[in-house]
Structure 1
Amino acid sequence: MTVSALEIAAALHLPPPTPQQQAVIEAPLTPSIVIAGAGSGKTETMANRVVWLLANDLVSVSGILGLTFTRKAAGELAHRIRSRIDQLSAARLTETVFDPFDSPTVATYNSFANSIFRDNALLVGREGDSSILSEASAWQIARRLVMGSTDDRLVGLDKSTDSLTEAVISLSRAMSENVVTSSEVVRMAEEFTGLAELPTGSKRVPTLNAELRASLQAVSALPVLVDLADRFAKEKVRRGFVEYSDQVALALSIAERVPRVAAEYRERFRVVLLDEYQDTSVVQTRLLSTLFGGRPVMAVGDPHQSIYGWRGASAANLGTFALDFTGDRSGALAFPLSTSWRNPVRVLDAANHLVAPLTEASTVPVSRLDPRPTAGQGQLDVFFGETVDEEAAAVAGWFAAELERPTPSGGVRSAAMLCRSIKRIGAFTSALTARRVRFHVLGLGGLLEEPAIADLVSALRVIYHPTAESELVRLLTGARWQVGLRDIASLSAVAVWLAERDHHHAKLDPALKQRIRESVVVDESRSLVDALDFVAEAPVGHRMLEHFSATGVERLRAAGRQLAFLRTRTGLDLPDLVNLVVQELLLDIEVAANEGSALGRASLDAFSEQIAAFIAADPSAGLGAFLSWLQEAEKRDRLSPRSDDPEPGTVQILTIHGSKGLEWDSVVVPRMVEGELPGKPQSKQGWLAFGELPYEFRGDSRELPVLAWRSAASQAEFAAAKQIFTEQIVDRYAEEQRRLVYVAVTRARGSLLLSGSFWSTTTKPRMPGLFLRELESAGLIPPDALPEGPASEDNPLAESTQLVPWPLSPLGSRAARVEAASRAVVDADAGATTPWSHDIDLLLAERRAGLEGEQLVVPTRVAASRFKDYVTDPDEVLRRLRRPMPERPYRQTRLGTRFHSWVESRFGRVGGSEQLDAGPGELDLDLDLDLDVDLDLDPVAASETPTIDGGAAEEEELQRLQVTFEASPWGGRKPEEVEIEIHLVLGGNIVVCKIDAVFRDGDRYQIVDWKTGRAPSGADDLEVKQLQLALYRLAYAQYRGIDPERIDAVFYFVSVDEIIAPDRVYSESELLALWEQVTATTAATSPGAPNPVAPTPPAPFSRRR
């Protein structure tokens, strides 16, 4: 007898599914497509379909495959499916007994492709353990290839190194994602260059017209770019790297060339769920249809939310699903999910109206979104001001009022400002600051907006680029040097004076000056950086110093000499150089002292992680390459989906592209004006732009604009064809902008504000954008919300003046009081101002610190594996924090690292913790603070010489550990989690717990921590190690929402094949009490003093081999 979805919901105490949801849940086992609108509950519906299939014995748990795009979405889907299976098992609706260690495979599209590649790589001549190439590493490898190329064709392209690097990477990925060979592209490019022979079509125009000349120049570059792309691909193979696009292409190659592999996957997975199908690329669709064509595949997506076309996604995939998976355009069932469980009525009405033109033109039927039965009216506000400053003030005021209101459940509201671009958000962040509204700019762009990081990057650009004038002005007028604007103007005059002179400062011949102007880019002939160097070394009384103030000269000399010193250190390794700049500019002290800094020291740490990611592929990478990559990385980061959780009480600022899949209580979409939202395409050239793959090679070419170049009989006909092509590009971009605003509007759970203003930095006013005008015409916003035109014919911002004291004092309103106090201190101790005073003070402070100790500031983030050090030996922690030293790389340490990696790879990151997709700009770059490669070295290992190279002995030892592990109690079991990192909040600090593995046995869980060193010998040693297991148990209990008493934790010392399990582990209250002792006593701890913190008497451990 069939169990219905309604019966299952009742038995599991879940809300009954709607008729639409029930149809999806009970759909027959045949290819089908679900058009799920924004917020329509697709994740819950997919999880409930899995339960229905299991309850009716239509599939086994392990026969289910679920794929989605982001790590967050995959984790959420996996968690819901696991929870529903647990509920189904408890409800006993079926006689089937579910194996607690059997779970469905839930992964991302790329991680699934990677598993195919990893398991079968040798079949295509590759190594399965190839490392993922990060964005930073890809940029560095491609850039080195470009710079090292001797191809004369590159000279004729007249492109910068960065432009060539970007083109090589982009073309390489496009060819991989569309399964195109180099020879095909080169052959087409050579054919296209034959258009140069076309007659003009007019006797009055005997030469090539501009349209054709520009097109020929771009397309003729393809052969040399393809050659570089091929070299890039070969270099990745040589170094053992693969990119995400490579994973899918290689998996496709395996599936097509080795039918046995495809057959195995079809046999293994009887039911396949494909989430966010509208975001799949051509090569992903081809792989999936090759593997699962004709099988029960259910694709879920929304063509209106296809906003990642720049990375190969296509809304047309939904329209061709039936053809791809059945061979028949009408061979698949179609189901709608059109109830929004997120948006209130007013917000939903606006979204439906804005997306209506796309609904009418869609190749698949898309239903209008309906509000949920209990939906409120919500709030839809509009503000359109005279200037961007007025707009920003209104937005800040709106957020301030919103955040004061509780959510319907009484909680603190979440909020976001979703921008088409975050390049010009200064007015908004300033207004939020003025209203004291907390905000957080997400992503790398947000990191670069942090004042300390902005100063750091500015300094790096100044010491590398002689034309980094804006960055230099930021530094000079900032808190450190506080140079006045009049002195900045005088510095500019020096730059002009130097540009007209040679290195002896003699005036240049007019003819030579003209030749210099013609040989360089505009404004490169003069440099504020050079002018600063001149001021720093100019003799006293030089006539070019006459226009500076005395204080200005003093400060400019100090700045110039310090920056010149840093310039002499650019030969240092990149991390060392950056650390030196941080110390010289006192940025580490600034972030520690600035109470208003949102991130503090964490911002510098995050920037260091970006550097580490960049130099991973090439430790010798230089400053110039890093600065170039940083700009490209920021752009990609803005366009990638984000997985950040909402921060109640804080306004998160991010791009609309980054908001996909997220939601907030209160949302603002600013700058809805002509030219911004909707915007205008940056280029109307399409595939005729530099480095673009011609559309005819794209898998979705049927949906793209067409350039009829082969049928052109003259240049005039080509120009006409190009005009039609350009119009199609503009129309297609307009559709993309409409999808973008639809995504933005549907992020709001309660309140939505749409804003704009006439005047910003433009010389002409920007009228209300098309989307605002459409809402006004539909009567969805008040008729008087949009002014007919600006009140002023000229930009008020250009005429307005604001008198402020400059330079601004870093002490703000406290400046006078602090400076008066400083003078009082100096006056009271006037006799202490000798040339040696500072050094004496430092020596006395060092002696005092040794005698009296100094306060230990416990970091916010603490690794679980280091928790015991804080508890048992705060003196050593104090010493290491005060003066950190690098660890020596022992063989035993590296062996532990390799063993952990092997175990992780062996288990393949099962379930929700399986290796997840991290597309461009989406990699988790958090420093692994708790790897716990066992540092309890045996006497032999501890006495050996530090080494960085492995050998036969290490390989033999690794193999011995692997054999031992295979025979252990866990060798044949499937873990619930592998290498999962959990952040545990304990007493105001975050304990970073990276758990090796979690196994499940019925309703109990077991945490296992692998150790490759020697087993502890004494009770005290065992006791302190128990702290780590206690933290892991508490963290996992909170992560899963289960009772800690249901969780056991053990150590497995693989080298001696010994399992050590505590008979009792510390409870949360005991851990908290220990930590409170640490934080309360570290201030009083001094070197050599008795340790005031000690754990309670050791709990007994059981040991077995």
Structure 2
Amino acid sequence: MGTRFTESQQRAIDLRGCNILVSAAAGSGKTAVLVERIVRLVSDPANDTDIDRILVVTFTNAAAAQMRERVLAALTQKAEQEPDNVHLLRQLTLIHNAKITTIDSFCLNLIRNHFNEIGLDPDFRTADDGERRLLEQDVLAQLLEDSFARKDPAFLHCVECFAPGGRESRLEGLILQLYQFSMSYPWPEEWLLSHRPKEEAPAWESLEGEAWFGWMKRAVRAKLQESSLCAQENLRLCGEPDGPYPYAQAAGADAELTERLLELADGPDWCRKLWEALSNLSFARLSAKKDPSVSAEKKEAVKRGRERMKGLLAGLREKFFYADPRFWPGQQQDCAAAVRALVDLVLEFMKRLEEKKREKNLLDFSDMEHLALKILQNRREDGTVEPTRTALEYREQYREILIDEYQDSNLVQEYLLQSISGEDDGRFDRFMVGDVKQSIYKFRLARPEIFMEKFSSYRKDDGPCIRVDLKQNFRSRKEVTDCVNDVFFRVMHRELGGVEYDREAALYPGASFPEPEGGEGEADPYAPEFLVALEGEGKEDPKRLEARMIAAKIHQLVGRLPVRDEETGLLRPARYRDVVILLRSPSGWDEPFRKALEEEGIPVYVTSKTGYFAAGEVQTALNFLRVLNNPLQDIPLFGVIHSPVCKFSDAQIALLRAGDETGKRSLYDCMKLAAQKEEDLELAGKCREFFALLERFREYAVYLPIHSLIQRFLEETGYLYEVSALPAGNQRKLNLEMLLARAESFEKTSYSGLFHFIRYMEQMEKYNIDFGEAGALDENADIVRIMSIHKSKGLEFPVCFVAGLSKRFNRQDSVQPVLLDLDLGIAADRIDPAARTKRAAVKKNVLAAKLVEDSLGEELRVLYVAMTRAEEKLILTACSREEKLDALAAEASPKMTAARILEAGSYFDLLLPAWTASGREILREKQEDLLREELGRGAAGQNGLQRLLQESASAPGNAPEETELLQRVYSRYPHENLEGLFVKTTVSELKKEGMQEEGAAELFPEPEVVPYVPGFIRKEEKKPGGALRGSAYHRVLELFPFGEKPRAGLWSEADAEEKIRTLRESGLLSEEYADAVNPRKLALFLQSDLAERMRRAQEAGRLKREQPFVLGIPASELSETLPAEETVLIQGIIDACFEEEDGLVVVDYKTDAVSEGAELLRRYRVQLSYYARALEQITGKRVKEQLIYSFALQRTVSVP
């Protein structure tokens, strides 16, 4: 019986004579639809369509091969059913000529057939990634050398701006980044020239017509709309029966303010008026009136909402409106010269690289697409295109073009396929299948916008361009699809994920699963779960905690959870092989997870595309080649002699070094010296053996190809056999065999010799062209798999853990010195090497905001892919502090706004409110419970040891000394619970766990002037780091005369700058500290309510600053494993504290680069609690408030 298709699937199969966009949700059977459409097209004699007149484009070779196999199988089956169908039998003979191919293979075939039309030598060769990188590096090195020799002022200015201090590698990186980015555009030179800044400063009027300005206006309005919603919600809460009515007046004023700002944004001269309004923001103080009838929860909700509203407005001021808009055109000009020179360098690099490739007769994959486009399209002077004669021939050749994974197309690919379709002639013949919710290759410059443009414009009923939605999911149980819908209804927006997740985008269960036997009222074993490991006060690694929680859950599921058997279709108990653990990025996570699972006795395999170059056996082989090429490299030489190849011990290597009385010899020279000495014959013999080995292989290197040289090294030294005998020996052996394969690939390139092979491999490692450790796993092995979400795309698993959800999003792309966007252009900081200043530019901040928004959209789509891999059981896991979990749960809402989603720093921040809002339970696992299980295992191990000792003592012939030795080796230190005890510590040490994120980069660079050091003195001066900046602010505020009032009544930036200068000139403040403090940020602090309270306290003699303390606490408070009778002394310094009528206030200043107050609370809550406790013990008075003033957020954060 054939496959029964749904109505939507059947429509997608049967439609003819139109362009069709199939929006296929996860698990909706798009491949089956694609195969069936092809079979129907070529099996109907009335259509007169042969299979070699259909072009099917996929995006991987594996997908193309699978598609060809499935089409062949379907045609064969149909031919058996219709043996008299001559047309169908003809297709079976033509199938091997069918163009079921990747876009790269299509372009390659096109170029081979039409090389003469572009003046290309027909004997061209395709370069692999390693050769391409070598070629780029060679061309780049020569370009920079020539540019330095010419001493062109524009070039030197560019170097001082983007690569000061002789760090040309930064400039090289920028040139390559801009080159590769531009190559995703059909006409890269044109894109570069169109975004090359003009010589003259742009007029204000012209800015309003630029794409980045329009995007900024939309972003500003969205933020203002969100702040208005916050204010309106606060006002609503104040009006409820038990609401905080004393706050109603302030909430009403906030609502009026935000509405007025929205009106300004929609009115004339909006930019200048908003700048004026945001520069002079002031907020009414909340009433201090207390009423027991007021809900404490609603009162806190209003406070939180108000802080968020203020943060949104402060963010607008900091990112966009920190300067008079009339100065924005000048800002553009400040960075124009450096960007112009950079673009010129890229254009010259592009030209030279093309020449070098032609000289070597090479093409890379990017060249193929652009040359194919050149064959198919003529670009007119007015920017329009016309098809070439070749394109018209291809239009006649192909009756239909079918494109799989269309959401991952880029602009070049779109123009290519468009040029050979018949749309221009009124013949609509494209069939495009994809799901924009699964577009997760932005890093490869995919453009999901192409899919969305058609998604929005194609009609669902009739016409030349029709959209068909496949919504039914044939992969997962209803429990899984319901869960996915519940989450994405709340978090996916058109503005971020690319699609509005509504009933049209939702998943509808279509799969049939056998149901387990169970009594009524029993818990659903397939209900999705969200497990959160709660961090305790100890220093346990959060990754390890989460992994232990997952291990415990796997033990619960394996052998117990009924899952459908692939072969029989019946239920059977789950096995390890049914389980997968998905991680956003396995790097830094896969190893802790692997170890934790193995400790629990769970077999596990890490599927990764990285790790090959880190494998010890690969490093040893490459190090030997490095030493062979140049033995004066100490680190590679150490790696070789310390390896099983030479077997030098640590002590022997230390003796080699000790023999160098000068301390200046290389390790190689030390070995030569040791080889001549007679004091240590064993060491001397080893050195001589190594030199003989080296000399022998130097002779081999003269005439042997690289792969033969490596093969001989492995065989003569016995290294291949030795590593094969180690744990995971088969894996190690396959890794070395892969190295041989890479050497053979290198020998096919235009480079040769040992030196260039080493460069070839180093380029692959440098640019993460890592091909993963060689696969040594049987796909049927009963083992848990750990893999990246990207690697899992297209796969499905009965039990799916989506783990590591608390990991922070990577937003490094938005803080680079030069930012790129295909639509908005190029932006950079305003750097003036002569004045030693670096200032932010509004355009750069706009591009940074756009990149963050695009990144969040990508993260949402990645999360969708991860959650839709589950067939039967979906489990989400994270590790978090309980207070953060509770705070996020309190934010649950039916639909999170796009602005709120943009504030998320991790999947956890997105998922937890959505999960809670859907009425689902969060399962909390306490750290002590997870560790208790581990301690139980340890106790079991000790019991086993006792049995071992008893057996040893009673065994006949065993000497008492043997038993005593066992006892000593395996005995436990009787006071090991005191090992973590220290006599004295600092508050900073106690909160260090919360500081792991402290080095995280700011989403937006500071808009103020920061010290900039030109290259000629950079070696003598260092850019102020975070620690220096923090110390500088603390020193200024320690000395600042709060009792003074400024002349104008309100502290201005000029007043603050003058005061800093006075402190420096008086000798109280070093020049280094003075330069690190930003006068504008200091002035904003002095204008705050907190500074005013401190001023009043100083006048009353109740302000203390830099107050030192020592506090004694029971050791058990630091860890439950430490005894209560032991005391630990904690010392610290309180930045500031002051007394008001109803209690003391503790103040802490922070300069951390954070984007939200919650992050500061997570980092410093413990620190402030110790400050408050110490102050109460010292004074005997109550601390009523703990406050953090953030110079990054420019506001006060209250510690609850």
Question: Once the 2 structures are TM-superposed, how far is the Cα of residue 477 of structure 1 from its aligned partner?
Answer: 7.5
Give yes or no for the alignment of 1:146 onto 2:302. no
- Give the TM-score, by structure 1 length: 0.56
Q: Which amino acid is the alignment partner of residue 625 of structure 1?
A: R
Indicate the residue corresponding to 2:186 in structure 1: 179
Alpha carbons 2:9, 2:470 under 8 Å: kept:
yes
Counterpart contact for 2:610–2:770, Cα < 8 Å: no
> Aligned match of 2:39 in 38, 51, 57?
51
Distance 2:687 2:117 in 1: 65
Within the candidate set 252, 275, 287, 2:404 is matched to: 275
Per-residue deviation at 1:635?
4.6
Superposed displacement of residue 751, structure 1: 3.6
* Deviation at residue 304 of structure 1 after TM alignment: 1.1
Aligned to 1:926: none
Match of 1:88 in 2: 78
1: distance between equivalents of 2:99 and 2:757? 43
1:243 paired to 2:399: no
Q: Which residue of 805, 818, 838 maps to 1:688? A: 818
Name the SS of the counterpart of 1:367 in structure 2: coil
**Residue 445 of structure 1 aligns to a residue in which SS?**
coil
- TM-superposed deviation, 1:285: 0.2
In structure 1, the residue matched to 2:343 is: 222
**2:465 counterpart (312, 322, 332):** 332
Match of 2:93 in 1: 101
From 59, 77, 91, the counterpart of 1:69: 59
Question: In structure 1, what residue type is equivalent to 2:594?
Answer: T
Residue number in structure 1 paired with 2:582:
418
Confirm whether residue 429 of structure 1 aligns to residue 594 of structure 2: yes
1:374 corresponding residue in structure 2: 512
In structure 2, the partner of 1:943 is: none
Structure 2 match to 1:118: 112
* CA 643–541 in structure 1, closer or farther in 2 if over 3 Å, else same: closer
- Work out the CA distance in 2 between the residues paired with 1:626 and 1:190: 36
- Asked if 2 retains the 8 angstrom alpha-carbon contact of 1:462 and 1:472, the reply is yes
Q: Which residue of 2 aligns with 1:520?
A: none
Letter in 1 for 2:621: L
C-alpha distance after superposition, 1:165-209 (max 9, x if no partner): 7666655444443133547625744638979999x9999xx9x99
Residue 654 of structure 1 deviates from its aligned partner by 3.4
CA contact (8 A) 1:638 1:654 kept: no
Q: Distance in 2 between the 1:664 and 1:37 partners?
A: 17
In structure 1, what is the equivalent of residue 801 of structure 2?
A: 668
Match of 1:191 in 2: 198
Name the CA distance, whole Å, in 1 between partners of 2:803 and 2:134.
Answer: 36
| Structure 1 stretch displaced more, 564-573 or 19-28 | 564-573
- State which of 752, 757, 765 in structure 2 corresponds to 1:631: 765
Instruction: For residue 320 of structure 1, give the secondary structure of its aligned residue in structure 2.
Output: helix
- SS of residue matched to 1:221: helix
The answer for the alignment partner of 2:307 in structure 1 is: none
Q: Partner amino acid for 2:146?
A: D
Q: Which moved more, 1:174-183 or 1:605-614?
A: 174-183
1:770-790 Cα shifts (integer Å, max 9, x gaps): 244245424576323376x99
| Pairwise CA RMSD | 5.4
Show the 5 A alignment for 1:775-786: 776-779=915-918, 782-785=921-924
Deviation at 1:283, TM superposition (A): 0.6
CA distance 1:739–1:341, shift in 2 (3 Å): same
Contact 2:531 2:922 in 1 (8 A): no
Letter in 2 for 1:773: L
1:1024 maps to which residue?
Answer: none
1:742 equivalent to 2:864? Answer: yes
CA distance in 1, matches of 2:75, 2:910: 45
1:514-593 to 2 correspondences below 5 Å = 530=666, 534=670, 537=673, 574-575=706-707, 578-579=710-711, 582=714, 586-593=718-725
2:795 aligns to what SS in structure 1?
coil
Query: Identity rate of aligned residues, in percent?
Result: 20
Residue pair 1:709, 1:718 contacting (<8 A) in 2 also: yes
Q: Which residue identity lines up with residue 626 of structure 1 in the other structure?
A: Y
Partner amino acid for 1:89? A
d(CA) in 2 for partners of 1:380, 1:419: 18
The residue correspondences of 1:916-935 to structure 2 (distance < 5 A) are none
Of 404, 408, 415, the residue aligned with 1:286 is 415
Q: Which moved more, 1:240-249 or 1:557-566?
A: 557-566
Q: Deviations for 1:224-268, whole angstroms, at most 9, x for unmatched residues?
A: 233222222222223222222222222211111463222222222
AA paired with 1:352? N
With over 3 angstroms needed to count, the CA separation of the structure-2 counterparts of 1:742 and 1:724, relative to structure 1, is same
2:8 equivalent among 4, 9, 20 = 20
2:445 aligned to 290, 308, 312, which one?
312
Partners in 2 of 1:487 and 1:400 — Cα distance? 47
- Pairing 1:604–2:741 present: no
Q: Is 1:408 matched up with 2:564?
A: yes
Aligned length: 722
User: What SS does the corresponding residue of 2:57 show, helix, strand or coil?
Assistant: strand
CA distance in 1, matches of 2:586, 2:681: 37
Q: What pairs with 1:293-308 in structure 2 (closer than 5 Å)? A: 293=423, 294-308=427-441
Structure 2: where are the runs of 5+ without partners?
Answer: 149-154, 208-320, 379-386, 516-524, 536-540, 568-574, 882-904, 943-957, 959-1200
Superposed counterparts of 1:821-840, under 5 Å = none
Q: Aligned letter for 1:750?
A: E
Please list, as runs of the form range in 1=range in 2, the aligned pairs for 1:745-824 lying within 5 A after superposition.
745-757=867-879, 769-774=908-913, 776-779=915-918, 782-785=921-924
3-state SS of paired residue (1:754): strand
Query: Which runs of no fewer than 5 residues in structure 1 stay unpaired?
Result: 1-12, 507-528, 760-765, 805-819, 821-1105
Determine the structure 1 residue equivalent to 2:1090: none
Q: Give the one of 114, 120, 131 matched to 2:125.
A: 131
Q: Within 1, Cα distance between the matches of 2:191 and 2:593?
A: 49
Structure 2 CA distance for partners of 1:216 and 1:532, relative to 1, 3 Å: farther
Instruction: Quickly say closer, same or farther: Cα 1:592–1:504, change in 2 above 3 A.
Output: closer
Change (3 A) 1:556 1:182: farther
Instruction: Confirm or deny: 8 A CA contact 1:36 1:337 kept in the other structure.
Output: yes
Cα distance change on mapping 1:369 and 1:476 into 2, 3 Å: farther
Structure 1 residue 649, shift from structure 2 partner: 2.1
Q: Go from structure 1 to structure 2 and tell me whether the alpha carbon gap of 1:652 and 1:451 turns closer, same or farther (over 3 Å shift).
A: farther
In 1, Cα distance between equivalents of 2:816 and 2:49: 48
Letter in 2 for 1:101: T
Query: What is residue 1156 of structure 2 aligned with on the other side?
Result: none
| Counterpart Cα distance in 2 of 1:478 and 1:39 | 49
In structure 2, the CA distance between the partners of 1:248 and 1:162, relative to structure 1 (3 Å rule), is: same
Which residue is 1:622 aligned to?
A: 756
Distance 1:684 1:286 in 2: 29
Residues 680 and 79 from structure 1, CA distance in 2 versus in 1: closer, same or farther, beyond 3 angstroms? same
Deviations 1:76-105 (A, max 9, x none): 222222233333333349966321313343
Q: Provide the secondary structure at the position in 2 that maps to 1:343.
A: coil
Q: Deviations over 1:303-360 (max 9, x none)?
A: 111111122211111123379999x999621111111112233333343344443354
User: Counterpart amino acid of 2:125?
Assistant: S
Q: Give me the whole-angstrom Cα distance separating, in 1, the residues matched to 2:199 and 2:771.
A: 35
CA shift in 2, pair 1:268/1:187, >3 Å: closer
